[in-house]
Amino acid sequence: MKKIVGFMDNYQEAMNLVTDLSENGFKRENINIVESSGRSGREGEGEEGSGFLHSLRSIFGMEESEEVRGYYAEGVRRGGAVVSVITHEED
């Protein structure tokens, strides 16, 4: 299992990426999106997150430094969005 993380300039670009990923065989339950409105979670769930910093921690886990999470957090604060997908060798 691997986790791939990408940063998009805005929420619409992130949603386009989610659509592309799902149309190319990635399961929606393995795709996560974080953006500045506080919405976060797997695409389609519509859950309210407890803030994007918490959501970034859930994406990166403890193995990534605060500095790395900080770069993504600043981008999200500026209107961007983070998309992550969990892949398996067969994906």
Tell me: the pLDDT tens digits for 42-86? Answer: 544 444 445 666 677 667 665 667 777 778 888 888 999 999 998
pTM of the full structure? 0.72
Average pLDDT score over the chain: 78
- Residue that has been written with the tokens 């919405």 in this structure: 39
d(CA 37, CA 82): 12
- Residue that has been written with the tokens 């994007």 in this structure: 52
Cβ-in-10-Å burial (0-12, 13-18, 19+) of 53 comes to: middle
